[in-house]
Chains A and B, each alone.
Chain A
Amino acid sequence: MSTTTVAHHDEHQEHPTGIMRWLTTTNHKDIGTMYLTFSLVMFLVGGCMILGIRAELFKPGLQLMNPEFFNQLIGVHALIMIFAALMPAATGFANWMLPLQLGAPDMALPRLNNWGFWILPPSAVLLTLPFTLALFGIGDGALATGWTFYPPLSIQGGLGVDFAIFAIHLLGISSVLGSINIIVTIFNMRAPGMTLMKMPLFAWGWLITAFLLIATIPVLAGAVTMLLTDRHFGTHFFNAAGGGDPIMFQHLFWFFGHPEVYILLLPVWGFIPQILQTFSRKPMYGYKAQVYSLWGIGALSVVVWAHHFFAAGMPVPALLYFMYSTMAISLPLAVLFYCWIRTMWKGSMSFETPMLFTVGWIILFGIGGLTGLVLADVAADAQYHNSYFVVAHFHYTLFAGGIMGIMAGVYYWLPKMTGHMYNEKLGKLHFWLTAISFNVTFIPQFFVGLAGMPRRIPDYALQFAEFNMISSIGAFVLGLSQLLLVYNIISCVRGGQKATDRVWEGAVGLEWTLPSPPPYHSFTEQPVVK
């Protein structure tokens, strides 16, 4: 950039309009908006898939679909929710908020940022295209192995598996590019005076997430590539007849898969305390303790993977090691819970929608965490493993702990992003409907799992019928309530009461010093942090 443009930088608000603005943009807010929009669309797509499943499971018998199609829906639902809904939502917030929170003009690597986003839509197409191709008689539909790709089933599978493998490659590249950008931004673009231990917790959460992604995505990419060569080029990595081992895939997959859980949760753990301090009107408790705990969880997350397949068989010392190391995660997590609640304690709390989602999030994520602790027990895991108990457990961590956290963030930052206040009444209605119907959906799944219903079955024995019916009703209410979220966001973008710069009475941090919405180029002069 030449010196003359720098001189005129303040007035530089023009940019291409229409579709070209979005295709060519390197602006962190535009890209953040695209990530968040993509995430919302895919959240609805993945949601429709699971409503198909819940409709089929409404009562015993095969009503709506054959088992092949059922198997395709469950796997693609999971991949879409994890890779195309939850992860892009967190990346969207990172794009929007990290430069604002760190006092930077933009992300460090804007072109890479653009590329990182535009890889996502093609990969979503790759994931879902086999459904459409099957309608025209090409192939036999999408990936039908569940999202975990376990061989030898995935070696038997049709072209849906290949499509999913390439989709994973693209999604992985996108995540790694995003992570590099975030790490570089955090290390280089902080405002003068903002030492690492002064930066907002959201940046810490994302920094650790980014390192975890860079450490584990290549392992996943390698594992699915080995699967691809086993499928088409005659290798035998996962075939015992050729000296391979199907269980090796599970080790590789979960070496990525377990940290992935924390990849989804760490950004949320970053901004939840910021929301808590805003609405408790009191600085977050134990900032340093939280930073160290986040690091502790990040480190532990890469050494506990085998607890996902205790039942696959491993030596006793390995069982014991993975059991005890998994239990150890409860220690840093307990510190976080303590700090969250201590932030609320003797604050001056008010309960606008973001705070409602945050409090609901703490309670429901708590249930996910506690049931996770008992799942670590190897002997009991033989029963829980692959039963609906596990399904309920990870939806408490990933829907309640992940998506409800994201929703708290959406309501918290929406006025800052759009410059308008959302409709508080509808926001609260959305919270209550979501929280209640979520529990109606998943509490019965704990019981039905304990009673002996395996996951991923298209039809079930009669003793599971009542709980499944309740769960399906809950799921439909949960799904329909999300239309309120869509309505709230759209109406907030279109207009509404003007938001102030600070938006919330108790908000602290650099993002609240800018106007709402912030100018196209965030900080033209670097703020100084004391």
Chain B
Amino acid sequence: MQGMKKLGASAFALFYSLSARADYTFNFPEPVTPMALDTLHVHNKFMLITAVIFVVVLAIMIYSIVKHRHDKGYKPVVDKAPSTAMEIFWTLVPFAILLLIDFVIMGIPAYHSVVVMEDTRDQSTMVIKITGSQWRWQYEYLDGDAKGIKFVSNLTTTNGQMHNEEDKGEHYLLEVDNPLVLPVGEKVRILMTAADVLHNWWVPQFGSARVAVPGFIRETWVQVEKPGVYRGQCKELCGKGHGYMPVVVNAISKEEFAEWANKKQEEQKAANDVKEMTKDELLAQGKTVYEKNCAVCHQVTGAGLPPAFPALTGSKIATGPIFGADGKYQKDSHLDRVLNGKGVMPAWKATLNDTEIAAVMTYERNALGNAASVDAVVQPAQVKAARE
């Protein structure tokens, strides 16, 4: 017994030294919403019950394995089916216990959890819309202080870190440029949808996960009780970038949230103002937009990954004419493809603003080894007109 203890302790120490860097855990991370707290309780209770069942049954088996051995000369008994009332009663007792565990001890709390989990509207004070797309999350505030705020959240971990050329940061793969900002203590109703394939917006500390289905709205809710930054990931296989669309939520107090909302609304208004830009300005901004949104498929160099993701360098679409004689953009032109997408190519009209689309197109037409002879520069005003 002493030996076993020593063995256990040294194994544990070994385990611990392995994990000097990480704050690993054997259970769910600390819950910060009522739903996650409830889930943790359910999980702990269930694990306890199943552990007891497992240990008791295992103990009986081990006793039998030690005791009823052929090499110890144990003679097999002849089993009889339960026949007397007493025997039948004792046969039914385990059934009763199991029924009790399944449908009373677990079943009743589970019923209440489901009802609470699915009640997205009651006492909710704000609504946000989350759209999953390959491979980024888009957030939109639909009412309240932050009404109209809309932004895209992209992974910021660098390629160098992923390919082991640079040291990995503390939040490797779990960091974004624009985190979702939520006020603490408010019940936030979440409308979930997707632009292309299935996604699943998951923050383990929130305990809620819901598949985002293209063409449908699904609902869930969160009520973050504690300020902080919470990280999670997409958990529905959504293609090659599935591991690269993290969720980061910044939960702040109501006052800070109101302040943030004000600031963000003004920023957004300024960004949406369409103004004439020089080619250099467009190219500079276009490079940023391109590398954040387009390079994952078309590659930083524009070489693409044929046949699934065509090259932009030398592409007929990316260098050909955009506008027809009537001044409107032509079908299957560069602008049409960027705005509306086709097949695997997503539609960007809901994700990028006029300036960003103009910039990225100008970049694609003049950089990446391209030099378009017609419509070389695209102005935000032209994109705005094309939307109408």
Contacts and interface: CB of A to CB of B under 8 A. Distances in A.
Interface in B66-90: 68-71, 74-79, 81
A123 to B, nearest CB: 23
Contacts of A363: 58, 61
A466 B19 contact: yes
A428 to B, nearest CB: 15
Contacts of A342: 79
Interface in B282-320: 307-308
- If over half of B's interface residues share one DSSP class (helix, strand or loop), that class is named, otherwise mixed; here it is mixed
Contact of B70 (A71, A152, A281, A462): A281
Size range of the interface on A? 35 or more
Given A374-B46, A380-B39, A240 B163 contact: no
Contact of B237 (A63, A153, A383): A153
A239 interface: yes
Given A377-B42, A450-B26, A60 B168 contact: yes
Contacts of B46: 373-374, 377, 380
B232 A452 contact: yes
A382 to B, nearest CB: 5
B243 interface: yes
Contacts of B162: 61-62, 459
A338 interface: yes
Q: Which of A359, A382, A456, A462 gathers most chain B CB within 10 Å?
A: A382
Interface stretch (A8-16, A319-327, A412-420): A319-327
A93 interface: no
B195 to A, nearest CB: 10
B288 to A, nearest CB: 23
B260 to A, nearest CB: 26
Contacts of B170: 462
B98 A452 contact: no
Size range of the interface on B? 35 or more
A13 B234 CA distance: 61
B202 interface: yes
Contacts of B23: 463
B163 A61 contact: yes
Interface string A196-216: 000000000000000000000
A511 to B, nearest CB: 21
Contacts of A527: none
Contacts of A377: 42, 46, 106, 110, 113
B22 A344 contact: no
B243 A67 contact: yes
Contacts, number: 285
Given A67-B240, A150-B198, A447-B26, A323 B95 contact: no
Given A158-B308, A367-B54, A383 B43 contact: yes
A380 B54 contact: no
Interface in B132-170: 161-164, 168, 170
B56 to A, nearest CB: 11
A457 B233 contact: yes
Interface stretch (B212-220, B354-362, B377-385): B212-220
Interface stretch (B27-35, B271-279, B325-333): B27-35
Given A71-B237, A311-B200, A466 B24 contact: yes
A19 interface: no
Contact of B76 (A158, A281, A386, A387): A281
A346 B65 CA distance: 9
A17 interface: no
Nearest to A379: B113
Contact of B22 (A319, A350, A359, A463): A463
B235 interface: yes
B228 interface: no
B158 to A, nearest CB: 12
Interface of B: 15, 18-19, 21-29, 35-36, 38-39, 42-43, 46-47, 50, 53-54, 57-58, 60-61, 64-65, 68-71, 74-79, 81, 94-95, 98-99, 102-103, 106-107, 110-111, 113-115, 117-118, 161-164, 168, 170-174, 196-198, 200, 202, 204, 207-211, 213-216, 218-219, 231-244, 307-308, 343-344
Given A71-B237, A311-B210, A458-B243, 7 more contacts: A240-B215, A341-B64, A377-B46, A383-B43, A451-B29, A454-B202, A465-B22
The 4 A-B pairs with the shortest beta carbon distances in the complex, nearest first, are: A240-B215, A452-B204, A379-B113, A457-B243
26 contacts: A62-B162, A144-B240, A152-B197, A158-B308, A239-B215, A245-B215, A247-B213, A282-B77, A313-B218, A330-B98, A344-B65, A345-B60, A362-B61, A370-B54, A373-B46, A374-B47, A377-B42, A377-B110, A378-B113, A459-B244, A460-B243, A462-B168, A462-B172, A466-B24, A467-B24, A469-B18
